Structure 1
Amino acid sequence: MTLFRNTRHAPADITLGALLEKLRDAAMPLVFEYDGKTVRPGYHVTEVKAGQFSALDCGANPEAWSEVFVQLWDVDDGDRTHMTAGKFSAIVRKVSEHVALDGSAKLTFEVSDGVKPMQLYCAEEPVERGDSLVVHLAPRPSSCKPRDRWLAAQVAASQSRCCGRTRPELR
């Protein structure tokens, strides 16, 4: 049964360091897409914050991770255009002068238009589309870590059973 299988989450996640590496100091406009729409040209990066988290999961296993949150305010702001990838990178670098940002940390985008509640998203790798760099943001779902680990072990076990041995009919 695949009722709770989450195949979208793992491939979508990109770390802060990997995102910044892809953006570098590009002069191309940086466009975010989420919920079937494009962030408006006047968007602001209103906050970048880092957190160290400790938790106990539903299987009573201790968990610890680093996470970086980038808050986007999706608004129109006069005749502004989408900020460049270089400007976005410069904002993050400026934050890193004051806040320790772990490049390998889980990256979460918090997006709101100032009216609707903030939503959480994970980011995919940026892609060039026309003259812009586009980052698709996918909703960040909840998950059960013990179940995720069990599923990963099942996949690994099934791959080890079928790989490495030549089937007689393929010799």
Structure 2
Amino acid sequence: MNAIDNSKIQENDIDLGLLLSALAGAKDSPLIFHYDGQPAKPGYHVTEVKAGQFSGLDCGANPEAWTEIFIQLWDIEDGDRTHMPAGKFYSIIRKVTEHVQLDGSAKLTFEVSDGVRPMQLYCAAAPVLRAGAVHVELSPRPASCKPRDRWLAEESSKTAACCGPAAAKSGCCAGPHAL
């Protein structure tokens, strides 16, 4: 069994291409999604995969455009089934690509329901191979303010440029207000 290479995978919000490349090396391993502090039931299955292209205005009147892929999981008990092998999930997605164009770099959102509670939206963290199974942690997809997010990213970038290893010698981080 091959290990999953997490070196290229973002921590909290991976895209479809990264998920599939991580699963490719562990196709025989059970794929276990975790959400709301619990693992999905062994009978879960993929009920729908859809792709969408969206455009809109954010709250700062900035135009936005993105592609998003939604994978719907129905989290039910289904007899004495075991968790779906990573290879089967991989094959389902590949089968979808025969009919629907899926952009591997698109934002990936999981829609999860147990058939009773309303569907909820989740983003996926990097898959982890543990105890012979591939575990994917799903966390609720929060609302965000894109202008604020861009501003915070820019500020973080400025701080990294000023206080990074090369800049540390320049004294910009050594001033009286440096932490």
How does the TM-score come out when normalised to structure 1?
0.90
- How far the C-alpha of 1:55 sits from its partner, in A, is 0.8
Match of 2:18 in 1: 18
Q: Which runs of 5+ in 2 are unaligned?
A: 1-9, 175-179
* SS in structure 1 of the partner of residue 108 of structure 2: strand
CA distance in 2, matches of 1:13, 1:48: 18
CA deviations over 1:18-71 (Å, ceiling 9, x no partner): 000000161100000000001000001000000000010000000000000000
Match of 2:145 in 1: 144
Aligned residue-pair number: 160
Match of 1:126 in 2: 127
- How far the C-alpha of 1:160 sits from its partner, in A, is 2.0
CA distance in 2, matches of 1:44, 1:123: 16
* SS in structure 2 of the partner of residue 109 of structure 1: strand
* SS in structure 1 of the partner of residue 154 of structure 2: helix
Match of 1:83 in 2: 84
Match of 1:36 in 2: 37
CA distance in 1, matches of 2:136, 2:11: 14
Match of 1:64 in 2: 65
- How far the C-alpha of 1:167 sits from its partner, in A, is 5.3
CA distance in 1, matches of 2:106, 2:74: 22
Match of 1:4 in 2: none
Q: Is the CA contact (8 Å cut-off) linking 2:11 and 2:126 kept in structure 1? A: no
* SS in structure 1 of the partner of residue 11 of structure 2: helix
- How far the C-alpha of 1:11 sits from its partner, in A, is 3.4
* SS in structure 1 of the partner of residue 54 of structure 2: strand
Match of 1:103 in 2: 104
Match of 1:5 in 2: none
Amino acid at match of 1:12: N
Amino acid at match of 1:159: A
CA distance in 1, matches of 2:155, 2:170: 22
Amino acid at match of 1:14: I
Amino acid at match of 2:16: L
- How far the C-alpha of 1:119 sits from its partner, in A, is 0.5
CA distance in 2, matches of 1:107, 1:47: 13
CA deviations over 1:80-102 (Å, ceiling 9, x no partner): 11110000000000001000000
CA distance in 1, matches of 2:94, 2:119: 24
* SS in structure 2 of the partner of residue 23 of structure 1: helix
CA deviations over 1:118-149 (Å, ceiling 9, x no partner): 01000011111112100000110010000000
CA distance in 2, matches of 1:79, 1:11: 33
Amino acid at match of 2:158: A
Q: Which runs of 5+ in 1 are unaligned?
A: 1-9
* SS in structure 2 of the partner of residue 133 of structure 1: strand
